[in-house]
Amino acid sequence: MSIRIIGTGSALPAKSVTNEDLAKLVETSDEWIRERTGIAGRHISTGETVAELSAAACSRALEDAGRTAEEVDLLLVATCSPECGVPCVACQVQGMIGAAHAVAFDLNAACSGFLFALHTAWAYMEAGICRNALIVGAEVLSKLVDWTDRGTCILFGDGAGAVFAEYGGKEKFYFVQHSDGSKGGALTCDTRQLKNPYVEMPMEAPWIRMDGREIFAFAVRRVPEGIEEVLGKAGMTADDVDLFVLHQANYRIIEGIAKRLKQDAEKFPVNLDRVGNMSSAAIPVLLDELKRAGRLKSGMNIVLSGFGAGLTWGACVMKV
Ligand code: UT7
């Protein structure tokens, strides 16, 4: 037995922001952003929270799966941009959708978060701890972005995606996961500073800081390695794969990965032109769009791969 993904859903904030809009805030241009990243627009929260976007994505995934919130056993939210430390986003979502019987908790592995959460849910189901799971990737990164830093504010977008998976079916899932904390300084975002009556610390702005070139080089090297590794576990090669659903960070990264794997770029669907880099929400939102567009056909071999801050990266082979 294995698991099956039987429903997907997503939610984006109502406000859409173009590159031209950003060129009014920082010294940049539509041409530079498109050429260097492939991004033309993104959705930015004007009030929607990570929990609200997650709840909307979950409701759509449950509707798509033909299941009710009361049936959910496990509710996992991958996010690095929760509104508060406690309660976790997953518990907030549980309350919002009425998933009264679920165990709910969050997981943070930045842009690899959805993949790591899917792997966790898979392991819970394989171990018999639960029979089904709602797995969510959700971010409101716009509150962590320094809107005066043109190197980062042009990249990110807000949104949430969810899948509903249940135990059953014959097609095996294969996973690999990796982390390298020694390179964590390449992409950071502080939260609250230590501030109590016994310390005096300089306050630093808690914004996303990134060495874009280092992250770029890491992604183009490590992601193909991870994909080859998981394909090896599944006894497959890249030629056997129908679609590579990758974290949507930069179109040039996706092209570089396709080239290393010697695969046609058409096997790598993209939506980053419309939604930017939504960190842990990128893969489930793209999966939902592909499913609703009828592009996920029964029997297809799909590779998912996420990579980002931590550093973290991982890949999964699954059949739909
Ligand atoms: O989810 C994972 C998270 N992060 C990523 O995936 C990011 C991976 N990295 C990237 O996508 C790319 O490194 C960036 C898009 C962030 C930057 O592209 P790049 O080709 O690596 O540019 P660069 O940082 O090497 O900068 C080249 C030039 C610099 O000017 P000088 O020093 O050559 O005069 C930058 O100041 O481009 C300048 N620049 C900009 N110019 C116009 C940087 N950002 C902008 C901008 N508009 N928005």
112 touches ligand 1 (CB under 6 Å): no
> In this predicted structure, what is the pLDDT of residue 1?
66
CB within 8 A of 142, min separation 6: which ones? 44, 45, 156, 157, 158
Burial (CB count <10 Å: 0-12, 13-18, 19+), residue 274: middle
> In this predicted structure, what is the pLDDT of residue 201?
72
Catalytic residue numbers read: 111, 247, 277
CB within 8 A of 202, min separation 6: which ones? none
> In this predicted structure, what is the pLDDT of residue 56?
98
- How far does residue 36's CA lie from ligand 1's centre (Å)? 7
Using 50 as the pLDDT threshold, list the residues of the chain that sit under it.
none
150 touches ligand 1 (CB under 6 Å): yes
- How far does residue 23's CA lie from ligand 1's centre (Å)? 15
Instruction: Please state, in angstroms and as integers, the Cα–Cα distance from residue 245 to each residue in 166, 248, 295, 298, following that order.
Output: 21, 9, 12, 16
Instruction: State pLDDT tens for residues 142-168.
Output: 999 999 999 999 999 999 999 999 999
Apex 72 CA angle, 68 and 75, nearest 5: 125
- How far does residue 96's CA lie from ligand 1's centre (Å)? 39
Instruction: State pLDDT tens for residues 255-295.
Output: 999 999 999 999 999 999 999 999 999 999 999 999 999 99
> In this predicted structure, what is the pLDDT of residue 318?
95
> In this predicted structure, what is the pLDDT of residue 227?
98
> In this predicted structure, what is the pLDDT of residue 192?
78
